[in-house]
Chain A
Amino acid sequence: MVQTPERAATVTRLVSDIRVTVNGEEKRVPEGTTVAALVLSMNLRGPVAVERNREIVVRAEHPTTTLSEGDELEVVSFVGGG
């Protein structure tokens, strides 16, 4: 589905979801979702680091950082590498 800004705005009003981009993929999350809640919803094992709009959100601030419409998030962890 093509997401025009107009359509997105409509959806936002109707279900009070906001649109965020997580690791390059668009996601809808309830308004008021925190970084901690988002990470929890991903069912991940092990620690992650989060960048929001190109700024690191330190782990201590995950529970208090609320997502906003249009946020771009990177959720990363360590993998094997040289």
Chain B
Amino acid sequence: MNAATSPDSSLNDNDALVIGGRTFASRLFVGTGKYASVDETRNALRASGASVVTVAVRRVDFKERGAASLFGMLLEEKFDLLPNTAGCYTADDAIRTARLGRELSGSDMVKLEVIGDQKTLFPDVVGLLEATKVLVKEGFFVLPYTNDDPITAKKLVDLGCPAVMPLGAPIGSGLGIRNPYNLRILMESVSVPVIVDAGVGTASDAAIAMELGADGVLMNTAIAAAKDPVRMAFAMRLAVDAGRLAHRAGRMEKRLYANASSPLQGTIGSSRGHDALGIE
């Protein structure tokens, strides 16, 4: 095996994601929605290498039994469950949903969403701050889905969020990282980990988020809506690792004009006066 197929894994050592003093095995967080079956979900989640998976809290359907088998599978696979408050349009609904999620998961982690508008699913940051205040007080480990707005991010951190999760683009849009400059400013504005949540469409988007300096990426549709979700899950895993490594390695400066990689001198047919080797 050569270096291309067997990279030295020690290059990626000692780089675990730590949020609020807790260590996470993967920087890729994945959702569990929109898959064709529980088996496909299982295979995609395994391929992603994620340890944290998001779930939604919904009223039980008295006729539908599928939901229970998804929950059972997630417990069987020992994923860390991150209940979300998706679909909540008020702080109050989000708070109630978070409490129900905690009762189900037995964990204090919540992906807090307070949605402002059905068409864009952009966060209602006023409601988000309100719900954050209450849930932090109740001991929740609040991971807030927020705008790529550095000011809101700072307020969320001030309220006690151990990380912030700004969007890259609208949920489920697959548009990629729409505002890398805002994200960079946001990352420089807060001292906690930043997880880019929503908007990723394919592997390069995830890599870009990580190269920008994100501490992790959370995605659902990019994997679930791929033609081959399991393969895409694995691609995302590699992309997150690649982007992270590139960020740690430190990219070269960009320049407008070329800068040859091969020596300019000593090419055959050079006029004598330009002979690099100085052989007259």
In Å, the complex CA distance between A30 and B96 comes to 28
B56 surroundings in chain A (CB, below 8 A)? 78-82
A11 surroundings in chain B (CB, below 8 A)? none
Give the interface size bracket for B toward A. Answer: 35 or more
A44 adjacent to B68 (CB under 8 Å): yes
Which residues, 52 to 84 on B, are CB-close (under 8 Å) to A?
54-60, 62, 65, 67-72, 74, 81, 83-84
Min CB distance B63 to A, Å, is 10
User: A23 at the A/B interface (Cβ < 8 Å)?
Assistant: yes
User: B146 at the A/B interface (Cβ < 8 Å)?
Assistant: no
B72 surroundings in chain A (CB, below 8 A)? 45-46
A75 surroundings in chain B (CB, below 8 A)? 59-60
Which residues, 48 to 74 on A, are CB-close (under 8 Å) to B?
48-51, 54, 56, 58-59, 74
User: A77 at the A/B interface (Cβ < 8 Å)?
Assistant: yes
A81 adjacent to B86 (CB under 8 Å): yes
Give the interface size bracket for A toward B. Answer: 20 to 34
B88-116 interface mask toward A, CB cutoff 8 Å, 1 = contact, 0 = none? 00000000100111011100000000000
In Å, the complex CA distance between A51 and B71 comes to 19
Tally of A-B Cβ pairs under 8 angstroms = 109
**Nearest opposing residue in chain A for B29, CB measure:** A82
In Å, the complex CA distance between A17 and B200 comes to 52
In Å, the complex CA distance between A56 and B105 comes to 14
Given contacts A56-B103, A75-B59, whether A82 and B86 have CB atoms under 8 Å apart is yes
User: A5 at the A/B interface (Cβ < 8 Å)?
Assistant: no
**Nearest opposing residue in chain B for A45, CB measure:** B68
Min CB distance A80 to B, Å, is 4
B65 surroundings in chain A (CB, below 8 A)? 44-45
User: B202 at the A/B interface (Cβ < 8 Å)?
Assistant: no
In Å, the complex CA distance between A81 and B172 comes to 11
A48 adjacent to B60 (CB under 8 Å): yes
In Å, the complex CA distance between A74 and B86 comes to 16
Interface stretch, picked from B32-40, B229-237, B252-260, B269-277, is B32-40
Min CB distance B2 to A, Å, is 38
Which of B55, B198, B221 sits near A79, CB closer than 8 Å?
B55
B32 adjacent to A80 (CB under 8 Å): yes
Most chain B beta carbons < 10 A, residue from A24, A56, A59, A80: A80
Q: Which residues of B come within 8 Å of A, CB atoms?
A: 31-35, 41, 54-60, 62, 65, 67-72, 74, 81, 83-84, 86, 96, 99-101, 103-105, 171-172, 198, 218-221
Q: Which residues of A come within 8 Å of B, CB atoms?
A: 23-24, 42-51, 54, 56, 58-59, 74-82
Chosen A-B contacts, 8 in total, with CB atoms closer than 8 Å, are A56-B103, A76-B59, A77-B68, A79-B58, A81-B56, A81-B84, A82-B54, A82-B220
Q: Please provide the 6 A-B residue pairs with the shortest distance between their CB atoms, ordered closest to farther.
A: A81-B56, A82-B220, A82-B31, A46-B68, A49-B103, A45-B68
